[in-house]
Structure 1
Amino acid sequence: MAHNINKNRQTGEYSFFSVKKKAWHGLGSIVDHHPTSEEAIRYAGLDYEVIKSPLFTQGRTISIGDSGELIEATDIMVPNYYATVRADNNTPLGVVGSAYEIVQNREAFTFFDAIVGGGDGILYETAGALGNGERIFITAKLPDYIRVGKGDDVTEKYLFLTTSHDGSGSITAAFTPVRIVCQNTLNAALHNMSNVVRIKHTAGANQRLKDAHKIMGMANMMSQNLEGIFNKWAKVRINDHEVKKLIQMALAPNKETLDYIKKGADDKLSTVFKNTVDDAFAYAMMSETQQLETTKGTIYGAYNAVTGYFQNVRKYTDQEAKLKSIVLGGTAQLKSQKAFELCSAYALDGSVIFNLN
C-alpha cells in the first residue's frame, strides 16, 4: 500500500482529511471549509488515545514426570520497557522505554492553537495517520503571504507537525513556505536559524511542546526575510550556462563530484548524476512556472529549479518518502538549502561561486 494511510479497522475509513482539494491518493475526507482543531481531529480519524502498556515475553518451565516431558509457558514482564497501544482497537504501535512520554494527537493540535493565540487566523489544511496510526502529521496555513515581484508570484506560509507513537522519532514542527504556482516547498535556513524545531518524547515533552511557540516567531522572521531576499533575487540576472552550473553544484552528492564540476570535468561525472541534472535543468528551462517575470533568467528562478525538481519531477517510492525527503531533513531539503546558499552567494558576487570556462 504505497500511500501508507491508516485504515480504521472498525469503521473502514481512512485516517486523512484535506480542505477542498482531492485527498491523498483519493482517500480520506474532503471538507469544504477550514475546520477547527476539534473538527480536524475528527475528520482525520485522529480521535484515539495511545497508552503505555507493560511488556511481557514468554518463558518456559520444563519438568519431567512419569508421563514424560511437560513444558509450561509463563509470562515474564520486561523491565523498563513498554508497548504503546491504540486504546480504541488495542493495536500495538511500538516499544518504548520507561522515560518515553506519549504526546496525544489532541495535544499535537493544541501546539498549533497555542502558538497563534488560541487559533486566531490559523487554517488547518490536512491531517492524517500513517501505518497503524503510529505516525501522525498536520499541516496548517498561516495568515498572509510572501509576495515576489508585482504580486503574481505568491508563496503561502505553512506550519507542519509530525509525531510518532512508536518511539522512532522526535516531535517535529517545521515552517514550510509553499510557492502556489507550482507547489514548491521552499526550504531555507537563514542566519544559522533552522526552520525546524525537534522535541524528544521524554519527561516534560508536553511542556516543551507548549513552549515551542518560538517556531511562530521564527516563521514570522523567516517569512519577512525571505520576501526581501526573493524579491532581490528576482532582479539578479543569470544566464542558462550559469543556471546549469549552479544546479550541478547544488545537487552534487559528494566532494569528489563537486571538485569535478568546479574543474569543468563533466566527462568524469556519473551518468546517473548527469541525468538528474538534466531533469532539473529541463524543469528550469521549460516549466511554465519558470517563465514568469520573477523566474525567467533570474537567481530566484534558479533556486526554484532545484526546489521544483524535487517537488514536481523526481520520483519517490511513496508519499511518505517524499514527505521525509522534502520536509523532514531528507535529501531534497538538504539540496534545496544548498541551492539557497549558492544563490545567496551569487546574488552578492557571481564570480565567488564558480569560475566558468
Structure 2
Amino acid sequence: MAHNINFNEQTGKRSFFSVKEKAWHGLGQIVEEYPTSKEALQFAGLDFQVEKWPLFAYDPKGLSSDEQHIANRFATVRTDNNTVLGVVGNDYSIVQNTDAFSFFDAIVSGDGMQYETAGALGNGERIFITAKLPGYIKVGSDDFIEKYLFLTTSHDGSGSITAAFTPVRIVCQNTLGAALRNSSNTIKIRHTANVEDRLKEAHKVMGISNKMADELDGIFNQWSKVRITDKEVMKLIQQAMAPSKDVLKSLKTGEELSTVFKNICDNAFMYAMASPTQQTETTKGTLFGAYNAITGYFQNVKEYKDDEAKVKSIIGGTGQLRTQAAFDLCLGYAKDGANALS
C-alpha cells in the first residue's frame, strides 16, 4: 500500500513524525518526548505557509504572448517551494498549518493532551494530526482503549477541516471509530482563521469525545459479557457489510451473493476467528469481539490504494458507514439477542 507521505526536497526528509514508535510505513522522524505544537510542526515538516495566487491563461501554441487573467479563481501555493497545491474560489480562506495546531492547542491547554503523530500527504495539500486525550476506556480487566482526537485539513479546496474522536485499542492498534446513537464522532469546520470559531469548535469536539468515552466504557463492557455464536457472528458481519438494501434482501431470502461481497465477509470472519487480538477474554465469542472484527477488518485487513484512502474510508467513508451499521446491530443484539439479526 502506498503511503503518499510528502517528501520535502529542501530538507531531504519525509513530512511525518511519530512519538516513540514507527508508523507502518517506517518513514519520517521518530521523537522520544511529546512535542509542543511548534516542535510538532517542525518535526512533521508542516512549518510552511500557503498563499492564494491569481490564475492566468496563456496560449500553449505560442501564437500569442497575451495572458488572460481568470477572475475569481486562485492557485493555492506553498511558499517554501512554490508548489501549486490546488485551485480555489474567491471566497476560500486558507487555514494555515499553524492555525490547525492552534485548534488543538485550545484543547490541550490544561487538559493533558499530547501530540502523537502529524504529517503531510502528496505535495502538502493535505495534513493530519493525532493527539492523545488523558485517560482511557477499560474493557474487562486487561483490555485498554486509549482516546485520541484526529484532525485533517486540506489546502487544495477539496474539503473543510475534519476533526474526529477515535478510540484506539492498545493491544492491536485497531481503530474502533465507534459511532453512538444521537451523537456524532466527527465534525467539520469551515476554512476560517477566526479564533473564536476555532475555540467554539474545539470545545465541541472535547465535549463529544468525553461523552463518547463515558458511554463506550459502559457499552463495550456490557458487550464483552454477551455471548454470540460463530454463525451469528457471520450473520452480523454480512448485514453490517451489506452495501445496499438489495444485498440485505438477498441475505434474508437466501439469493446468490456476489463473489466480491462473499470474500469481504469471509475475510472479516477469518479476522474474527483467527486474529490473536480476538482470542482474549473480552473478545473470544463475545459481542465486543464481533464488533471489533469489523473495525479490525477496515484497519488491518482491507487493502487500500494509499494511506489517504485508508484515512478517508475510516473517517467519513465506507469504513465508518459499515462500522456504524455494526455498532447499531450490536446494540440491537445486546437488547434482543439473535432476533436482532433475523
Contact 1:234 1:299 in 2 (8 A): yes
TM-score normalized by structure 2? 0.95
| 2:7 counterpart SS class | coil
Q: Structure 2: which 5+ residue stretches go unaligned?
A: none
| CA distance in structure 1 between the aligned counterparts of 2:298 and 2:24, rounded to whole angstroms | 18
* Matching residue's letter, 1:44: A
| CA distance in structure 1 between the aligned counterparts of 2:224 and 2:63, rounded to whole angstroms | 76
Alignment match, 1:13: 13
Q: CA deviation at 1:24?
A: 5.0
Alignment match, 2:45: 45
Deviations 1:99-153 (A, max 9, x none): 100100011011011023x264111111001111111000011110000011x11
| CA distance in structure 1 between the aligned counterparts of 2:58 and 2:199, rounded to whole angstroms | 40
Is 1:96 the equivalent of 2:88?
A: yes
Larger Rg: 1
Alignment match, 2:221: 231
| CA distance in structure 2 between the aligned counterparts of 1:71 and 1:250, rounded to whole angstroms | 59
Alignment match, 2:79: 87
| 1:212 counterpart SS class | helix
* Matching residue's letter, 2:138: R
Contact 2:111 2:134 in 1 (8 A): no
Alignment match, 1:188: 178
| CA distance in structure 1 between the aligned counterparts of 2:24 and 2:291, rounded to whole angstroms | 27
Q: CA deviation at 1:59?
A: 5.5
Alignment match, 2:264: 276
Alignment match, 1:315: 303
Alignment match, 2:288: 300
Is 1:112 the equivalent of 2:100?
A: no
| CA distance in structure 1 between the aligned counterparts of 2:4 and 2:119, rounded to whole angstroms | 10
| 1:82 counterpart SS class | strand
TM-score normalized by structure 1? 0.91
Alignment match, 1:123: 114
Alignment match, 2:332: 345
Matches within 5 A, 1:320-339: 320-327=308-315, 329-339=316-326
Contact 2:232 2:338 in 1 (8 A): no
Q: CA deviation at 1:157?
A: 0.4
Q: Structure 1: which 5+ residue stretches go unaligned?
A: 61-69
| 2:66 counterpart SS class | strand
| 1:350 counterpart SS class | helix
* Matching residue's letter, 1:156: E
Alignment match, 1:22: 22
**Shift >6 Å, 4+ stretches:** none
Q: Give the aligned length.
A: 341
* Matching residue's letter, 2:177: N
| CA distance in structure 1 between the aligned counterparts of 2:194 and 2:184, rounded to whole angstroms | 20
